[in-house]
């Protein structure tokens, strides 16, 4: 069992939801995000509901790459010298159509969702290689399978890059005790998309995070959640003409 679990971007949305699900399973947690007041509230909630769980929280801006390495190492010490699973979850969805004057928002999304994710993967894998054990989990998206328009353009591109990065890491550690899982959530209602009204097959945060945690525990390579409809929808998205795909964004 992966007992000691680190989750980035844990103050809200999918990160918070996964933390609650893992706490219910009796895991010890290392939770980090920029908004420490929310982390403290989450810690208090978990310890109230699941007093057997140890919970450590630290401030982390994943775009401060040196801080990523420092915080991961500090969490490893907090948890007795071992990290069993690291979930690279922190991300954002700012942006707009390319060429419409929103380069800074698009750049920020690209830096947070890919370069900062690379830093998190480097920090996690450095620890796992030292331990010769561990489970790296990257949170990608169903949008990684195709190009999307408007605010999704850069977001989808970063998630495609993260999926490919994860596969490369997985290839590098095949036949070792280190596992790499890429989770591709479908549409799950969170703060990130709460203003978007028309979204097909969307589920609430609790349902989505429960499906994500079940998939993570199985430690497959590439998983699409909730499995209905996204396990088969990802194949359809790859085959649809672009004129049909654009309806999803």
- The model's pLDDT over 66-100, given as tens digits with 9 standing for 90+, comes to 999 999 999 999 999 999 999 999 999 899 999 99
Is the pLDDT at 14 greater than 70, yes or no? Answer: yes
Q: DSSP per residue over 164-222, as a string?
A: HHHHHHHHHTTTSSEEEEEEEE--B--TTTTT----TT-B-HHHHHHHHHHHHHHT-SE
**Phi, psi at 81, each rounded to 5°:** 100, 5
Question: What are 139-192's pLDDT values in tens digits?
Answer: 999 999 999 899 899 999 999 999 999 999 999 999 999 999 999 999 898 766
For residue 193, what pLDDT band results from cuts at 50, 70 and 90? low
Question: What are 224-246's pLDDT values in tens digits?
Answer: 999 999 999 898 888 888 888 78
Q: For strand 222-225 and strand 178-185, is the pairing parallel, antiparallel, or unpaired?
A: parallel
Question: What are 46-65's pLDDT values in tens digits?
Answer: 999 999 999 999 999 999 99
Strand, coil or helix: 87: strand
Is the pLDDT at 200 greater than 80, yes or no? Answer: no
Residue with tokens 């992966």: 2
CA distance 118 to 125: 10
Distance set, CA 5 to CA 13, 18, 72, 175, 192 (Å): 17, 10, 11, 22, 23
pLDDT of residue 239: 87
Question: What are 18-52's pLDDT values in tens digits?
Answer: 999 999 999 999 999 999 999 999 999 999 999 99
CA distance 136 to 128: 9
- Other C-beta atoms within 10 Å of 97: how many? 14
Contact 183, 140 (CB under 8 A): yes
* pTM for this predicted structure: 0.95
**Architecture of the structural domain at 4-248:** 3-Layer(aba) Sandwich (3.40)
Residues with a catalytic annotation lie at 155
CA distance 39 to 9: 10
Taking residues 88-114, what's their average pLDDT?
96
């Amino acid at each position: 069992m992966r007992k000691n679990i680190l989750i980035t971007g844990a103050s809200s949305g999918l990160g918070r939801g996964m933390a609650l699900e893992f706490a219910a399973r009796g895991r010890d947690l290392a939770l980090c995000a920029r908004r420490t007041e929310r982390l403290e509230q989450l810690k208090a909630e978990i310890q109230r509901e699941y007093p057997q769980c140890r919970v450590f929280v630290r401030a982390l801006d994943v775009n401060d790459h040196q801080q990523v390495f420092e915080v991961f190492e500090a969490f490893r010490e907090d948890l007795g010298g071992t990290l069993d699973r690291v979930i690279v979850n922190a991300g954002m969805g700012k942006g707009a159509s390319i060429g419409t004057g929103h380069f800074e928002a698009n750049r920020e999304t690209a830096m947070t969702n890919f370069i900062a994710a690379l830093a998190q993967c480097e920090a996690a894998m450095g620890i796992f290689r030292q331990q010769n054990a561990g489970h790296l989990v990257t949170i990608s998206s169903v949008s990684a399978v195709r190009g999307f328009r408007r605010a999704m353009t850069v977001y989808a591109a970063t998630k495609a890059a993260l999926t490919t990065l994860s596969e490369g890491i997985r290839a590098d550690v095949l036949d070792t005790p280190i596992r790499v899982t890429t989770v591709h959530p479908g549409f799950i209602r969170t703060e990130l998309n709460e203003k978007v009204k028309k979204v097909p097959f969307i589920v609430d945060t609790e349902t989505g995070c429960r499906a994500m945690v079940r998939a993570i525990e199985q430690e497959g390579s590439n998983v699409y959640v909730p499995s209905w409809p996204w396990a088969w929808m990802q194949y359809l998205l790859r085959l649809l003409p672009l004129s049909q795909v654009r309806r999803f964004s």
